[in-house]
Chains A and B, each alone.
Chain A
């Protein structure tokens, strides 16, 4: 098997472990809202996104309309469009044709994007396949276990696992901040805006708050700290 594929698998293990715990929670939530185990796993396998799935299940449980589902998914997941454009700039264009793009599109999540974007050099499809496969397995199997078995792990372990994904984000942004003042500025500005939205405008959905905070701080950073060459 291709070495790059296994590198993708290896890099994806922390993502899969984090997904396992988050998806576990999603599985419990979906069943508690009246979905079957099969439906819960079906949602995870076909959507592969945390916030969007929770919003979708809430709308289904409340008997909402299809239009509501469509609008909510667009707003919550629009960040994947931005990430897709960013990632498109790092692709090895020789090996990334339309088919490869159509396949990899399915797996653009916050974590998969962050890990792949942090790679040095151009990205090849096989690397993405490994990364997406292991994350997908973690996400769907976590949902299955959560939906089928309920709380298997003690509460103390589950709550500590809530930190996994966020700690991984920290591990991605801090080393980059060591190397670039522009990144330091971006992180600080986005954190400040996010805190302001959270406490001053609690009615704003978290999806919107992230989009506004991120675009505003990245635009400001691009203006104040222009990049010299692809870092």
Chain B
């Protein structure tokens, strides 16, 4: 079967998974538990995706941990996203030159 059919199927399924809840769900949620759940979900997803994957992200655990530490400190100081991201990556790169 042509690769095109596979690509179209992937795209269609991925779109439906995104579109159906986002488009059909119009009610404002009143239940305090579900409000809380939906409020906490994004942070939970990002945390689970980041840890422990971030420690393997550069292919070297030392530079990954150094970059992570820089990101945590700068994020705590509420610096903009792009500054945190580039500084973390930049420090991992610089450390990588020396080890």
Contacts and interface: CB of A to CB of B under 8 A. Distances in A.
Contacts of A221: 36, 40, 44
A188 to B, nearest CB: 8
Interface stretch (A1-9, A48-56, A134-142, A143-151): A48-56
A222 B71 contact: no
Contact of A73 (B14, B63, B71): B14
A18 B44 contact: no
Interface in B1-59: 1, 3-11, 13-15, 17-23, 25-26, 28-29, 32-54, 57-59
A187 interface: yes
B14 A163 contact: no
Nearest to B79: A171
A171 to B, nearest CB: 4
Give the interface size class of chain B.
Answer: 35 or more
A196 to B, nearest CB: 10
Residue from the set A115, A164, A215, A223 with the largest chain B CB neighbour count within 10 Å = A164
Contacts of A166: 50, 53-54, 57, 68, 71
B78 to A, nearest CB: 5
Give the interface size class of chain A.
Answer: 35 or more
Interface string A170-199: 111111111000110011111101110010
A200 interface: no
A160 B89 contact: yes
A47 B23 contact: no
A60 interface: yes
Contacts of A194: 47-49, 51-52
Given A66-B9, A69-B9, A78-B17, A110 B46 contact: yes
A87 B72 CA distance: 26
Contacts of A210: 45, 48-49
Contacts of A82: 21, 41, 45
A93 B26 CA distance: 9
B46 A102 contact: no
A141 B20 CA distance: 28
A105 B18 CA distance: 6
A228 B59 CA distance: 42
A226 B46 CA distance: 20
7 contacts: A106-B18, A170-B54, A170-B68, A182-B40, A186-B40, A210-B45, A215-B41
Interface of B: 1, 3-11, 13-15, 17-23, 25-26, 28-29, 32-54, 57-60, 63-64, 67-68, 70-72, 74-76, 78-82, 84-90, 92-93, 96-97
Give the 10 A-B residue pairs with the shortest CB-CB distance, closest first.
A222-B36, A84-B22, A160-B93, A167-B88, A174-B75, A46-B11, A105-B19, A171-B84, A218-B40, A213-B48
